[in-house]
Amino acid sequence: MSLWFLLLGFAVHLALASTIPSPRPLVLWHGLGDSHSSPGMLEFMKLIKEIHPGIFIHSIFISEDLNEDKKAGFYGNVLEQLEFVADQLAAIPELEAGFDAVGLSQGGQFLRAYVECYNKPPVNNLITFGSQHMGISDIPICKPFDFLCQIARKAAKRAVYSTWAQENLIQAQYYRDPNNYASYLHANHFLPYVNNEIEEARNQTYARNFASLSNLVLVMFTEDKLVVPKESSWFGYEELRDSVVSDASDQQRFLAMDKKIIPMREQPLYIEDWIGLRELDERGAVVFSECVGEHMEMGDCWEELIVEYTGGSL
């Protein structure tokens, strides 16, 4: 009799377990100067698993070697890296029904580019922390002893729109010069395309894919000095000018001017809905959030977002 009850209990346990929905998988893309399995990323994944027990998490890599993966955040071709990542995600069986995604700093805008350009397997909710969706008007400042960053920054500053920089320096590929918009459109082969800024090259698939998100959560750091302007994280940007400043005095005048920030809903990209952002917003699927502090000082501001926008049932 006891054996019969034991077997019956085991059968009931299996039946109940089969009815408990699995949490939707999660994909992470780390930020500049980090790697897929750094101590910080491993701790972040551990904390998420405490919130969503049993969740499958994949941390995107360009190289499995941690040092090479960190280097790939500075050097490489973004479009080639995106293709590599799309193949990587498509080969993971746990992701084939779709996943939520969290992008940290530039990892967020790259995940957004993945949604637009590939999205197979599809992203459900996308959360981006301090991401440069409308580009940057200055190359990120490096930490004092981050020599890899310092070398990349100096090379990019010298000739940000040169062919070499646009093929080899990651940050140059999302540098959007507000004082020379024409050169940005002509030379940059990443951001103008994923933002559908070039009229003759607009891709409606990008807009359809992006609008397919269930939710887009945009997180800005209130004291961010690394992402310039910080409002790029919310699809805001400096007012654009069409021509290069003519001399040093003009350059100083532009630097001294108050920079007018054009918010998301006043951007042509939004008004004309080049990427599906307006469609998302009009159905209430765009969420604006803030983390108090400097770039990637996440504190505990991430927890509520992880609870609400990740780990849902498949």
Residue 220 pairs in a beta bridge with 290
Q: Considering the candidates 34, 69, 100, 105, report the single residue annotated as catalytic.
A: 105
Q: Is the pLDDT of residue 144 over 90?
A: no
Residue 138's pLDDT is 82
pLDDT tens by residue, 157-201:
668 899 999 999 999 999 999 988 999 999 999 999 999 999 999
Residue 23 pairs in a beta bridge with 313
Residue 16's pLDDT is 41
Residue 141's pLDDT is 67
Residue 152's pLDDT is 73
d(CA 267, CA 195): 11
CA distances from 143 to 32, 147, 151, 293 (A): 12, 8, 12, 17
The rounded Cα 28 to chain-centroid distance in angstroms is: 9
| Share of residues in the chain with pLDDT > 90 (%) | 77
Sign of CA dihedral 294, 297, 301, 306: positive
Active site residue 36: no
Q: Considering the candidates 69, 224, 273, 281, report the single residue annotated as catalytic.
A: 224
The arithmetic mean of pLDDT across residues 28-55, rounded, is 97
pLDDT band (50, 70, 90) for residue 18: very low
Q: What is the pTM of this model?
A: 0.87
d(CA 256, CA 249): 11
Active site residue 105: yes
d(CA 116, CA 206): 4
- For every residue of 130-145, which 3-state class applies, written as one string? CCCCCCECCCCCCCCC
pLDDT tens by residue, 94-142:
999 999 999 999 999 999 999 999 999 999 999 999 999 999 998 766 7
Q: Is the pLDDT of residue 255 over 70?
A: no
pLDDT band (50, 70, 90) for residue 147: confident
pLDDT tens by residue, 59-101:
999 999 999 999 999 999 999 999 999 999 999 999 999 999 9
What the chain holds in terms of domains, given with CATH numbers, is 22-309 (3.40.50.1820)
pLDDT band (50, 70, 90) for residue 253: very low
Among 165, 183, 137, CA closest to 74: 165
Q: Which residues contact 232 (CB under 8 A, 6 or more apart)?
A: 131, 132, 133, 134, 135, 136
The arithmetic mean of pLDDT across residues 252-276, rounded, is 82
Average model confidence (pLDDT) across the chain: 89
pLDDT band (50, 70, 90) for residue 2: low
d(CA 131, CA 121): 22
